[in-house]
Amino acid sequence: MVLTELGRAFSMTPAVVFERVTGGSQDPNGLVGLVKSKDALDQMGAEQLANSVIYNDTAYDVIDGFIGEPLPP
């Protein structure tokens, strides 16, 4: 992705942000508020289905997005 106004280019990696534990219970894994790439989810053994992720028997509501890393100028 290129932001012409800034004159910068970024590589984009699919990711999710953990919004909350589904059902409002406690977060035993400390993931709420964190951003994880799809590769990181795979390495963790987490499973994503639509806007939910299951990790260690805990369901999370997530938002799909991207992690942008600046490329050298």
pLDDT of 4-53, one tens digit each? 998 899 999 999 999 999 998 899 999 999 999 999 999 999 999 999 99
In the 8-state DSSP scheme, what is residue 72? Answer: P
Q: Which residue has the tokens 């795979």?
A: 42
pLDDT recorded at residue 67: 96
32 and 60 Cβ atoms separated by less than 8 Å: yes
Q: Return the pLDDT at 24.
A: 85
Please tell me the predicted confidence (pLDDT) of residue 26. Answer: 93
Q: Which residue ranges make up each domain of the chain?
A: 2-70
Length of the chain, in residues: 73
pTM of the model: 0.86
> Taking 90 as the threshold, does the pLDDT of residue 73 lie above it?
no
